Amino acid sequence: MKSLTKTVMLFGLLLCMAGAKAQSSQAPHLFDAFPNTISCNIIELERIFSIPEGTNVQIVLSTNFIYRGSILNSIQRYSNLKSVLIKSSNFDAAMFSISRRVNDDNTITYVGRILNKNYADGYELIKQGNSFILNKIELKEILQDR
């Protein structure tokens, strides 16, 4: 009886340790070689919205960040909102989702993210002053099941 109790306790301890190890393992980072912020070329951002679905593209967002891939979707949601989804060929199939909104005062706002569910990092496109930047993000901060 004592050896059965010890065996069950040892098995339970092993299960707890395996669970703790699984929770502590982190996904790798995809964008470690790139800076935390990347200033974006607005002409390239605008060009994205004129490219048809299915087209292979090379988007030079900055001199040190070129995004290559294929346009999966290009949808005009409203008269003032268009969204494009690009699957990367050079960042392990990361998805670049970007939208362009024409505001009431005719200014243009871009929003977007570059994400890959298998990696711990990504980029978010945000406005900074009069320009737009890609700001590095950690997926655990924005995804619930991370």
pLDDT of residue 25: 55
Q: Which of 67, 101, 63 is nearest to 82 (CA)?
A: 101
Output the six-digit token pair for 142: 């924005």
The mean predicted confidence, pLDDT, of the chain is 85
Q: What is the pLDDT of residues 75-132, one digit of tens each?
A: 998 999 999 999 999 999 999 999 999 999 999 999 999 999 999 999 999 999 989 9
pTM of this structure: 0.78
Instruction: Give residue limits of the domains in the chain.
Output: 37-141
- Let me know how long the chain is: 146
| Neighbouring-strand partners of residue 137 | 122
* Over residues 57-77, mean pLDDT: 94
| Residue 1: pLDDT over 70 | no
For 12-16, 39-43, 47-51, 119-123, which range has the lowest pLDDT when averaged over its residues?
Answer: 12-16
> 24 pLDDT band (50/70/90 cuts)?
very low
> 9 pLDDT band (50/70/90 cuts)?
very low
Q: Cβ contacts of residue 125 below 8 Å, gap of 6+?
A: 40, 45, 98, 110, 111, 112, 113, 132, 133, 134, 135
User: CA–CA distance from 57 to each of 23, 70, 71, 93 (Å)?
Assistant: 38, 6, 7, 14
Half-sphere exposure of 41 (CA within 13 A, CB side): 14
pLDDT of residue 142: 63
